[in-house]
């Protein structure tokens, strides 16, 4: 990983955040994509700005973004940017503060640098491989709670369906946030004990958060316990489970 990848991502995220904030709570023009999700002029403006900044600085890197048509030339590149210009677009359009810019660099399937920037909250989570995880320049760590019972889990309602568990679902303390990146970030910061999604997860939603959570001491895998790999052809993983190692093992044991 070039030593300057993380500072590059931070600068790009801060600039993109300014663009997002300029459109926030101003009723930006919005359309519905083929999958039924909304996309606004803010999403595309941030995406355009990030792509210009990052690919100008690293022309040899591949590019994967939720708001850019897939260019499979990325598969042959040693490095690839993976990002979501606004993760949590519905929250963004509702005027909520729980949306994020999620930026990462993948090298040989691993994330090596990551930023989750939440300009409406004044929060910037960062990590580089082997260098720890940070929030606004302060080191963060995942929680140490080892038991699923009573652990604060941040996920969607669908996760608690009985079919996903070997027996009765554990009595988690239940929480939800719309941004997948934010869910991983707050686990990294120890505010919540675990996050999970059992659905297919898009890489741009989880790439940055996966490294930040791992560098904070969490174990981060797919729903089956397999390592996450990035810059894949399908651009998806088989869900995500993130928690400190003991709690992660406990959750996997109880999942169907």
> Which sign does the torsion angle of CA 50, 51, 54, 56 carry?
negative
* Nearest-angstrom CA–CA distance, 212 and 40: 27
* Nearest-angstrom CA–CA distance, 55 and 80: 10
Q: What pLDDT is stored for residue 35 in this prediction?
A: 86
Average of per-residue pLDDT across 74-89: 97
- Residue pair 90/77 in contact (Cβ under 8 Å)? The answer is no
Q: What pLDDT is stored for residue 49 in this prediction?
A: 98
Q: 57 with 98, same domain?
A: yes
Q: 107 with 226, same domain?
A: no
Q: For residue 145, is it within any domain?
A: no
Average of per-residue pLDDT across 145-173: 96
Q: Give the tens place of pLDDT for each residue, 85-97.
A: 999 999 999 999 9
In this predicted structure, the answer to whether residue 102 has a pLDDT above a threshold of 60 is: yes
Domain termination residue (choose one: 111, 139, 167)? 139
- Residue pair 194/241 in contact (Cβ under 8 Å)? The answer is yes
Q: 171 with 204, same domain?
A: yes
CATH of the domain at 108: 3.30.540.10
**Domain range spanning residue 67?**
5-139
Average of per-residue pLDDT across 51-55: 98
The number of helices, as runs of H, and strands, as runs of E, in the chain is 6, 16
Q: For residue 147, is it within any domain?
A: no
- Whether 171 has a binding-site annotation, put simply, is no
Average of per-residue pLDDT across 11-39: 95
Q: Give the tens place of pLDDT for each residue, 186-210.
A: 999 999 999 999 999 999 999 999 9
Total structural domains in the chain? 2
- Whether 215 has a binding-site annotation, put simply, is no
In this predicted structure, the answer to whether residue 1 has a pLDDT above a threshold of 60 is: no
* Nearest-angstrom CA–CA distance, 103 and 88: 14
Q: 105 with 15, same domain?
A: yes
End-to-end CA distance of the chain: 37
- Whether 27 has a binding-site annotation, put simply, is no
Q: For residue 210, is it within any domain?
A: yes
- Whether 107 has a binding-site annotation, put simply, is no
- Residue pair 214/189 in contact (Cβ under 8 Å)? The answer is no
pLDDT class of 3 with cuts at 50, 70, 90: low
The pair of structure tokens assigned to 56 is 């100008």
Q: 179 with 135, same domain?
A: no
Q: For residue 103, is it within any domain?
A: yes
Single pTM value for the model: 0.97
- Whether 5 has a binding-site annotation, put simply, is no
* Nearest-angstrom CA–CA distance, 197 and 66: 18
Q: 89 with 114, same domain?
A: yes
Q: What pLDDT is stored for residue 4 in this prediction?
A: 82
Domain termination residue (choose one: 74, 106, 139)? 139
Q: Give the tens place of pLDDT for each residue, 226-237.
A: 999 999 999 999
* Nearest-angstrom CA–CA distance, 206 and 224: 16
- Which parts of the chain fold into alpha helices (H)? 5-23, 41-57, 89-94, 180-188, 203-215, 245-254
Side-chain-side CA neighbours of 79 within 13 Å: the count stands at 15
| Range with the poorest average pLDDT among 36-40, 52-56, 142-146 | 36-40
Q: For residue 144, is it within any domain?
A: no
pLDDT class of 2 with cuts at 50, 70, 90: low
Domain termination residue (choose one: 101, 118, 139)? 139
CATH of the domain at 213: 3.40.190.80
- Calculate the average pLDDT of the chain: 96
Average of per-residue pLDDT across 81-109: 97
Q: Given the DSSP bridges, would you call strands 152-154 and 173-175 parallel, antiparallel or unpaired?
A: parallel
- Which parts of 27-138 fold into alpha helices (H)? 41-57, 89-94
| Range with the poorest average pLDDT among 27-41, 62-76, 99-113 | 27-41
Q: 130 with 156, same domain?
A: no
* Nearest-angstrom CA–CA distance, 217 and 38: 34
In this predicted structure, the answer to whether residue 252 has a pLDDT above a threshold of 80 is: yes
């Amino acid at each position: 990983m070039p030593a300057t990848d993380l500072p590059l991502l931070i600068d790009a995220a801060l600039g993109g955040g300014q663009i997002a904030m300029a459109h926030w709570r101003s009723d930006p023009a919005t359309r519905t994509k083929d999958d039924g999700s909304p996309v606004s002029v803010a999403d595309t403006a941030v995406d355009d700005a990030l792509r210009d900044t990052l690919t100008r600085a690293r022309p040899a890197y591949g590019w994967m973004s939720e708001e850019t048509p897939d260019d499979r030339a990325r598969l042959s590149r040693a490095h690839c940017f993976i990002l979501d210009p606004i993760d949590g677009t519905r929250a963004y359009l509702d005027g909520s503060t729980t949306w994020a810019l999620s930026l990462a660099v993948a090298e040989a399937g691993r994330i090596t640098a990551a930023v989750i920037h939440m300009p409406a909250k004044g929060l910037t989570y960062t990590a580089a491989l082997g260098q720890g995880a940070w929030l606004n320049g302060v080191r963060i760590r995942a929680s140490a709670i080892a038991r699923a019972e009573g652990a604060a889990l941040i996920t969607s309602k669908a996760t608690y369906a009985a079919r996903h568990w070997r027996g009765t679902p554990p009595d988690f303390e239940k929480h939800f946030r719309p941004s997948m990146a934010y869910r991983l970030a707050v686990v990294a910061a120890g505010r919540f004990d675990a996050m999970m999604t059992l659905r297919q997860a898009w890489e741009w939603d989880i790439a940055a958060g996966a490294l930040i959570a791992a560098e904070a001491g969490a174990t981060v895998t797919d729903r089956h316990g397999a390592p996450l790999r990035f810059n894949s052809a399908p651009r998806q993983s088989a869900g995500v489970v993130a928690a400190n190692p003991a709690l992660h093992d406990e959750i996997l044991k109880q999942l169907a």
